[in-house]
Amino acid sequence: MNERLINEVTKGNVMAFYKSTEWNKKRLEILRRDHFECQKCKHIKHQLTRATVVHHKVHLRDDPFLMLDDDNLISLCDTCHNEEHPEKRIKNKRKHFRNEERW
């Protein structure tokens, strides 16, 4: 396990992990393991969809020691990955005007 990456994630710098050679190799390994198929679409929706993302079942910030654990990683399509992260959705909010002139 790469202690430097664990320290970066613990400090909140998850991008250091996602840009690392270790992650890029593991990501490709997991996509190949899952035949580039979204595992959620395949097993829950009974559809074949191309996977483009490797998702951490236990979030990286929750347990950085599982960052490269095969059992904690799953291949997903963009749609299913977005469903796993509802907290990242951009919400359309109406602008609240500060005065009567509305600017």
Cα separation, 59 vs 8, in Å, equals 15
Considering its fold, how many domains does the chain have in total?
1
Q: pLDDT tens across 67-101, in order? A: 999 999 999 999 999 999 887 766 545 555 555 66
Q: Identify the three-state secondary structure at position 1.
A: coil
Q: pLDDT tens across 35-73, in order? A: 999 999 999 989 999 999 999 999 998 999 999 999 999
Which class for 61: exposed (0-12), middle (13-18), buried (19 or more C-beta within 10 A)? exposed
Position 17 in a domain:
yes
Residue ranges of E strands in the chain: 53-56, 73-76
Position 80 in a domain:
yes
Position 70 in a domain:
yes
